[in-house]
Amino acid sequence: MDQVFIEDLRIQTIIGVFDWEREITQTISIDLRMAFSISKAAASDAIADTLDYKSVSKRLIQFVESSEYQLVEALAEHCARIVLDEFPVNWLRLKLSKPGAVRGSSAVGVIIERGNAHS
C-alpha cells in the first residue's frame, strides 16, 4: 500500500479542559499517513494524478485554527473525518500531539487509524 504523508504540521488552536487553556492558543502537531496509490502520478508526473498534500494541509490548518475542542481525541477524530470525506483517501493514520502538555514529556496525544466503509 502506497502512502502519502505529512509530518509535524504545527497549528495554533484553542484546546484543553482548563479555564486558562480556553483563553489562549496552543500548538498542536499532526502527523498524517494516507493510503493513496501513487502509480498514476508516478507514470504521468502530473499533480492532477496525485493526492495534493498541500491541499490536505491547508484544509486541516483552516479547520484546526478555527476549532475550540477540549479533548485531543475529539479534534483528531474530526480531522480524520475531514480527510476521508474530502480527499481520495480510503485509510489514514493520524497522530495528534500536544507538545508540552505534561511536564517531563516532549508531547502527549493520540494515534488513530480510520478507513472509509467503501474501502
Structural domain total, the chain: 1
DSSP-derived secondary structure letter, 23? S
Exposed (0-12), middle (13-18) or buried (19+): which is 98, by Cβ within 10 Å?
buried
Residue 95 a catalytic site member: no
Read off the pLDDT band of 15 (50, 70, 90): very high
What digits encode the pLDDT tens for the residues 76-101? 999 999 999 999 999 999 999 999 88
- The CATH number for 47's domain is 3.30.1130.10
pLDDT at 10 over 80: yes
Residue 83: which domain range? 3-115
Q: List the catalytic residue out of 40, 54, 58, 98.
A: 98
